[in-house]
Amino acid sequence: MAELAKNTEIITPDADKVTPPWKEAWLSFCHNKLALLGLGIVIFFIIIAILAPVIAPYGFREQDLAKRLLAPSSEHWFGTDDFGRDIFSRILYGARISLWVGFFAVLGSVIFGTILGIVAGYYGRWIDTIISRIFDIMLAFPSILLAIAVVAILGPSLQNALIAIAIINIPNFGRLVRAKVLSVKQEEYIMAARAVGMKDSRILLHHILPNSMTPIIVQSTLAIATAIIEAAALGFLGLGAQAPTPEWGKMLADSQRYLVQAPWTLFFPGLAIMLTVLGFNLIGDGLRDVLDPKMKQ
């Protein structure tokens, strides 16, 4: 028995070879070519938004009525609009606005939706009933109509459009987080934390919230794409950004009269919206494939 014990080797895992979860998720994400394409598109638009003052050959307010509705050329790559403004320059500056609205509108939705969803799912009873019914009422209205109603109350402006987009997306995050919390709070480690007298605030911050982040991250990425479309829709209706702000939806609205005469005035802003939304959707699909255990199987 002594010789057997000596010859027996205890196999222990090599700590250096253990792949951290975040690294494993990144490697899986990198194997998704469509997700990488989406990431490349988003990074491209972020770069041109940051460097717009450097890249743009003209100012977005700069007018030249003698050059109105010029076709794309070496002087004006994307042509000019009805005021003789360079469309390429306006699209570069417009990237700042669309990305800004998308990120911050979704950030507001995530913060308030997560708080309400956690409270409803964790405490339940009448609190859950009230919050859930509020979500149901908000979701009963088409999102764009609800956004129009909010902007009509607050007044047409880019900031109010951002607030409206944030408000209409709160129920989506709230219901998603609530469903996740209802599942997580039944886990044994949550029951153990309650048994040892851990405060609810500590349980929510250190256990419930971290284990509910996966669906929030995925939904946030997809919601940015939706927010960009909604901002463009409000701008198209004249309820979002106001002239001469180079917001893509507003550019479409201002150019719709020249669809036949100067189709490039609509084509390039529409293409910018389409590519940006496509990029975020591809990233969201890639994150879902990586972070969702069901998709992994």
pTM of full prediction above 0.85: no
Spatial distance between the Cα atoms of 56 and 82, rounded to a whole number of angstroms: 19
| pLDDT the model gives residue 40 | 93
Tell me what the mean pLDDT of segment 277-282 comes to.
Answer: 92
Reported CATH class of domain 30-296: mainly alpha
What confidence tens digit (pLDDT) does each residue in 236-253 have?
888 888 878 888 888 888
Task: Tell me the one-letter amino acid at 89.
Answer: S
Average pLDDT of span 259-285 = 90
What's the mean pLDDT in 85-90? Answer: 91
Contact assessment for residue 81 and residue 248, using Cβ atoms and an 8 Å cutoff: no
What letter does residue 19 receive in the DSSP assignment? Answer: P
Q: Give the mean model confidence (pLDDT) for residues 291-295.
A: 59
CA distance 162 to 241: 10
User: Rounded distance, CA 60 to CA 43, Å?
Assistant: 22
Inform me whether the pLDDT recorded for 177 exceeds 70: yes
Tokens standing for residue 163: 């607030």
3-state SS assignment for residue 217: helix
CA 281 vs. chain centroid, Å, equals: 9
Contacts of residue 134, Cβ cutoff 8 Å, sequence gap at least 6: 171
pLDDT of residue 1: 46
pLDDT above 80: residue 47: yes
What is the per-residue pLDDT for 214?
81
The pLDDT score that the predictor gives to residue 14 is: 52
Task: List all residues 6 or more positions away from 282 whose beta carbon is below 8 Å from its beta carbon.
Answer: 34, 35, 37, 38, 39, 41
| Tokens linked to 9 | 């080797």
Percent of the chain whose predicted confidence (pLDDT) is above 70: 90
| Cα–Cα distance, 276 to 273 (Å, whole number) | 5
Q: Write a three-state SS string for 61-116.
A: CCCCHHHCCCCCCCCCCCCECCCCCEHHHHHHHHHHHHHHHHHHHHHHHHHHHHHH
pLDDT at 160 over 70: yes
Buried b (16+ CB within 10 A) or exposed e, 246-261: bbbbbbbbbbeebeee
